[in-house]
Structure formats: structure tokens, C-alpha cells
Amino acid sequence: MQKKSITYSPLMVLLALAALFISFETASSAANEIILSWDPNTEPDLEGYVLYGKQGSPDPPFDYIDTYPEVDLTDPLNPRAVITDLESDVTYYFAVTAYDTEGYESEYSNVVSVLNGNMIDTGGNSNGDDGGGGGGGGGGCFINTTKY
């Protein structure tokens, strides 16, 4: 009985390696994305939300991430933001504020801690209360995360 040898063309090997690489990259990047969602502000003069975050400490000041005008939200009754490019094994802290038509901004929401795409804490807001109240922009927002 003769042994049969199988030969693969270089193109076939390259395509197989490319498929493996793409699958790995997709799985890797999906684990480093989260969806932050928060309770909507119900004041009639709401203009939108500002997302803040940082690494290292859950205490302010936070770094500005992005602004989300209410008119640009897909679902204003369920505001959310997709956060991408999170590094593995790094704890991130996020908070949201609401701002009104006159530019007044609320206090920070509760602070959410995220590690490897998983929420690890939803403590009270950075001011030591439960996330309610706030300046002319209305009350703080309650923030939550979902693995993306």
C-alpha cells in the first residue's frame, strides 16, 4: 500500500491562515467593547448627555469622552453608548452627565467600573449620594453596562 501525500497550494495555506487571523481578531476585539446605558433624564429642557471616563481611580475629575445630543440618539428613552478599544486587564471608570438647552450640566451619575468587558461596580455617584439631584441640567443619570 502506498502512502498518499497531500499537497496544498500556497494560496490555500494563506487563505486558511487569514481566516484564522480574522476569527481571532473578531473574538479579541468583541471582548474589548461594552455598551453603556443609562436612565434618561426626563426634564423638558434636556439637550443631551456627556460621557466621561478614565483609568486608575473612580474619583473625579474624569476625562471627557463624547457628547450625545438627545436628537442624535437612536432611542432617547434608552440612551446608550458603545465603548470600543478597551485594553484587557485595565479597570475603566465611567460616568454620565445630562445637560440642558442653556448649557447647564448635572452632577455625575453613579460611577461604573469595567474590567475586561465586565461591570465590576456600580457605586453611588462621585458626590457620595445616590445619583439624584444636580444642577440646571437635571438629575444625574444611573449608568449600567452590557458586554458587547
pLDDT in tens, 28-53: 445 588 899 999 999 999 999 999 99
pTM of the complete model: 0.66
Domain of 74?
A: 34-147
| Least confident window among 3-12, 54-63, 101-110 | 3-12
Q: Does residue 15 lie within any of the structural domains? A: no
Q: Does residue 143 lie within any of the structural domains? A: yes
Q: Does residue 26 lie within any of the structural domains? A: no
Q: Does residue 103 lie within any of the structural domains? A: yes
Q: Does residue 101 lie within any of the structural domains? A: yes
Using the predicted structure, report yes or no on whether residue 133 has a pLDDT greater than 60: no
Q: Considering its fold, how many domains does the chain have in total?
A: 1
Q: Which residues contact 110 (CB under 8 A, 6 or more apart)?
A: 95, 122, 123, 124, 125, 130, 131, 140, 142, 143
- d(CA 26, CA 23) in angstroms, rounded, equals 5
Strand pairing of 118-121 and 112-115?
Answer: antiparallel
Q: Does residue 9 lie within any of the structural domains? A: no
> What CATH number is associated with residue 108?
2.60.40.10
Q: Does residue 2 lie within any of the structural domains? A: no
Q: How far is CA 37 from the centre of its chain?
A: 8
Contact 1, 106 (CB under 8 A): no
